[in-house]
């Protein structure tokens, strides 16, 4: 008897095979990043341990050494190793299960979470969307290791400005080292040595093991002991002794700008990768805060009822009736537009819908027999809320969270596009689009690629939300 290839069992096996292949590809990709950037990873961990030792020995000193840039390298190194270990464990378990050829358990033998996970695994489009989101978040975490340039470099923009995608430019490599951002400390002792070691490691990380300065040129020629090069309409001369290499060899290198450059000569690919950290982080943090706040208020309002319910719901009604964008603009215009303020503002203007959903769930749940039994046993209200009510309201909360991340990313991008969000030179997808809007016809790549990133992210989160909704809804499991 032939098995229908469209049955849930066959679909689950097919998606499981695809998932194993994705795990293998992801593991190989992360391993390649580790091998290619092994020096940077080792320096990142060394600087992290040095910083810990410095904090232990002198917690009140040298706070200026701990910058956001070096923190990004620490997070990237930890994430890279953690994901490699996690993927290795998951892949090993998957291969073991395949080798044993264990039959699929019936739904009666599985917990509710495993049944929902199996239902989600049958949602092929949601699985592909989840894989894309994993790639995007991995790119955001690993930005210091995979971005080809610093997103802030405005070097030789007479040559590098407005370069189309896949442009390849030549650059002269100077003997002059890049400037240290933080000077070495004077003196001796354990604390001074640790501080200087951390500063030296930070310099290696910031220059990405390219300590020498480079100078982009349109063309160059060697005449005797001099190199004559052109940058735009300017022609300059430099001696061979000021360049690296032996004689006329190895004095220049080639750099490729895969997605082109903007009006300041900054690499679009690097800015899109670094911009993903801002946009994706804001989306995740805002949803986490707003969903948590909405859940707490919804559970409290629905469970206690009375004047508490009336008071909280009137606040919700007022905030829902007030235009959210107008409220956001008032807050930003009054207090400024830092990243932290944007997160707080978006969080406290997006919890009302979750509160209403959770309240409606609690109103129906608190009349159920298991809640009445818990009350009759004398359990405290806090225990009933956190042990019985809150877990049973997670289904609509999870669905609302996955569907809301995309809209938050769009809102942040819109604010940045209007100049009210993340401020340049810090890249975010919205302000990169804003920077290229005046030259969209002639230099389309500046705004197009961050726009594609926003579109892809929002669509994928919506598809994941649909998959989660179908998986958690008993009527949709089939």
- The pLDDT value given to residue 107: 52
The mean per-residue pLDDT over the stretch 142-146 comes to 92
Question: Quick one: 411 and 473 in the same domain?
Answer: yes
Q: How far apart are CA 204 and CA 69, in angstroms?
A: 12
C-alpha 180/C-alpha 185 separation (Å) is: 12
Q: What is the CA radius of gyration of the chain?
A: 28
| pLDDT over 80 at 12, yes or no | no
Same domain, 307 and 358: yes
* Domain presence at residue 438: yes
Residue 62 in this model has a pLDDT that exceeds 60 = no
117 has pLDDT over 80: no
Say if residue 405 is in the same domain as residue 341. yes
- Gap between the Cα atoms of 350 and 320, Å rounded: 9
Q: Report the pLDDT value the prediction gives residue 247, as an integer from 0 to 100.
A: 54
Q: How high is the mean pLDDT of the chain?
A: 81
- The confidence score (pLDDT) of residue 80 equals 94
Name which of 29-43, 127-141, 420-434, 444-458 the model is least confident about. 420-434
The token duo for 365 is 């749940």
Q: How confident is the model at residue 126 (pLDDT cuts 50, 70, 90)?
A: confident
Query: Would you tell me how many other CB atoms lie within 10 Å of the CB of residue 56?
Result: 9
Average pLDDT estimate for 458-462:
90
CA dihedral sign, ordered 181, 253, 146, 342: positive
Looking at residue 199, what is its pLDDT?
81
- Specify whether 216 is located in the same domain as 276: no
Residue 462 within any structural domain of the chain: yes
Phi-psi group of 62: left, alpha or beta (phi > 0 → left; psi -120 to 50 → alpha; rest → beta): left
Residue 253 Cα distances to 1, 213, 243, 408, angstroms: 65, 12, 12, 42
Of 139-153, 188-202, 420-434, the one with minimum mean pLDDT is 188-202
Among 73-82, 110-119, 144-153, 290-299, name the one with the lowest average pLDDT.
Answer: 110-119
Which of the residue ranges 57-61, 276-280, 400-404, 458-462 would you say has the lowest mean pLDDT?
Answer: 57-61
Residue 249, domain extent: 157-190+201-257
Please indicate, yes or no, whether residues 455 and 345 belong to a single structural domain of this protein: yes
The pLDDT tens digits for 199-242 are 888 888 888 757 678 889 888 888 878 888 888 888 888 888 88
Give long-range contacts, CB 8 A cutoff, 24+ apart: 313-321.
Answer: 313/359, 316/352, 316/355, 316/356, 319/349, 319/352, 320/352, 320/353
Q: Which two tokens stand for residue 197?
A: 């070691």
Does 337 share its domain with 441? yes
Is residue 96 included in any domain, yes or no?
Answer: no
* Domain assignment of residue 180, yes or no: yes
272 and 235 in one domain?
no
Question: What pLDDT was estimated at residue 444?
Answer: 92
pLDDT at 183: 66
* DSSP per position, 404-454: HHHHHHHHHHHHHHTTSSSPTTS--HHHHHHHHGGGTTTSTHHHHHHHHHH
Distance of CA 24 to the CA centre of its chain: 22
Q: Which token pair is 333?
A: 């215009």
Q: What is the mean pLDDT of residues 3-10?
A: 48
Whether 413 is in a domain gets the answer: yes
CATH assignment at residue 391: 1.10.3720.10
* pLDDT at position 206: 82
Q: Is residue 148 part of a domain?
A: no
118-120-122-128 Cα dihedral, nearest 10 degrees: -130
The predicted pLDDT at position 2 comes to 43
Within 10 angstroms of residue 154's Cβ, the number of other Cβ atoms is 15
Beta bridge partners, 109, equal none
Least confident of 95-104, 109-118, 334-343: 95-104
Residue 437 domain-assigned?
yes
Q: According to the model, what pLDDT value does residue 112 have?
A: 60
Give me the pLDDT at residue 392, please.
78
Domains held by the chain: number: 2
The last residue of one of the domains, among 212, 235, 257, is 257
8 A C-beta contact, residue 294 and residue 354 = yes
Over range 263-279, report the average pLDDT. Answer: 91
pLDDT at residue number 5: 45
CB 231 within 8 A of CB 156: yes
Residues 281 and 363 in one domain: yes
Q: Strand 234-239's sheet: what is its strand order?
A: 219-223, 226-231, 234-239
- Neighbour-count burial for 110-148, b at 16+ CB within 10 Å, e otherwise: eeeeebbebbbbbbeebbbbbbbbeebbbbbbbbbbbbe
pLDDT above 70: residue 270: yes
DSSP 251: S
Does residue 433 sit in the same domain as residue 372? yes
Percentage of the chain with pLDDT > 90?
Answer: 18
Based on the fold, state whether residues 250 and 216 are members of the same structural domain: yes
- Predicted confidence at residue 104, as pLDDT, reads 52
pLDDT of residue 19: 65
CA geometry: angle 86, 89, 91, nearest 5 deg: 105
- Residue 214 has a pLDDT of 85
pLDDT confidence band for 135 (50 / 70 / 90): very high
Whether residue 15 is preceded by a cis peptide bond, meaning omega within 30 degrees of 0, is no
Q: What is the pLDDT, as a whole number, of residue 274?
A: 92
Cβ neighbourhood burial of 57 (10 Å; 0-12, 13-18, 19+): middle
Same domain, 370 and 295: yes
Kindly state whether residues 247 and 277 are assigned to the same domain. no
Confidence of residue 333 (pLDDT cuts 50, 70, 90): confident
- 428 is a domain residue: yes
Half-sphere exposure of residue 321: CA atoms within 13 angstroms, side-chain side: 6
Q: Check if the beta carbon of residue 136 is closer than 8 Å to that of residue 454.
A: no
């Amino acid at each position: 008897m032939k098995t229908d290839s469209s049955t849930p069992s066959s679909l689950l096996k097919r998606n499981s095979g695809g998932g194993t292949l994705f795990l293998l590809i992801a593991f190989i990709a992360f391993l390649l990043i580790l091998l290619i950037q092994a020096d940077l990873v080792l320096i990142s961990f060394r600087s992290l341990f040095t910083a810990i030792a410095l904090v232990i020995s002198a917690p009140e000193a040298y706070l200026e050494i701990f910058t956001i840039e070096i923190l990004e390298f620490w997070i990237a190194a930890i994430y890279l190793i953690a994901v490699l270990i996690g993927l290795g464990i998951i892949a090993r378990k998957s291969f073991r299960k395949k080798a044993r050829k264990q039959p699929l358990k019936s739904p009666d033998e599985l917990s509710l979470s495993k049944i929902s996970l199996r239902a989600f695994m049958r949602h092929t489009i949601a699985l592909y969307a989840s894989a894309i989101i994993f790639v995007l978040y991995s790119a955001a975490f690993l930005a210091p290791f995979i971005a080809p340039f610093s997103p802030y470099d405005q070097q030789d923009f007479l040559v590098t400005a407005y370069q189309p995608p896949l442009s390849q430019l030549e650059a002269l490599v100077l003997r002059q080292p890049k400037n240290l951002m933080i000077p070495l400390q004077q003196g001796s002792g354990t604390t001074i040595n640790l501080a200087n070691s951390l500063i030296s490691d930070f310099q290696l990380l910031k220059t990405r093991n390219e300590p020498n300065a480079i100078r982009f040129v349109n063309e160059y020629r060697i005449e005797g002991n001099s190199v004559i090069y052109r940058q735009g309409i300017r022609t300059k001369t430099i001696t061979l002794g000021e360049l690296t290499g032996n004689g006329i060899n190895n004095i220049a290198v080639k750099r490729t700008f895969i997605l082109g450059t903007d009006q300041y000569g900054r690499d679009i690919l690097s800015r899109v990768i670094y911009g993903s950290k801002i946009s994706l982080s804001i989306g995740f943090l805002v949803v986490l805060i707003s969903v948590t706040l909405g859940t707490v208020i919804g559970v409290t309002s629905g469970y206690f009822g009375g004047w508490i319910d009336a008071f909280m719901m009137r606040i919700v009604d007022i905030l829902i009736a007030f235009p959210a964008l107008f409220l956001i603009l008032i807050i930003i215009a009054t207090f400024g537009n830092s990243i932290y303020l944007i997160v707080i503002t978006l969080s406290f203007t997006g919890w009302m819908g979750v509160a209403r959903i959770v309240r409606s769930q609690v109103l129906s749940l608190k009349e159920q027999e298991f809640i009445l039994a818990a009350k009759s046993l004398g359990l405290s209200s806090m225990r009933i809320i956190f042990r019985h009510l809150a877990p049973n309201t997670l289904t609509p909360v999870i669905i609302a969270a996955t569907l809301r991340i995309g809209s938050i990313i769009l809102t942040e991008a819109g604010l940045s596009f209007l100049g009210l969000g993340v401020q340049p030179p810090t890249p975010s997808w919205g302000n990169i689009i804003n920077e290229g809007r005046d030259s969209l016809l002639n230099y389309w790549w500046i705004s197009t690629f961050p726009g594609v990133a926003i579109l892809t992210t929002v669509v994928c989160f919506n598809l994941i939300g649909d998959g989660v909704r179908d998986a958690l809804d008993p009527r949709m499991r089939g």
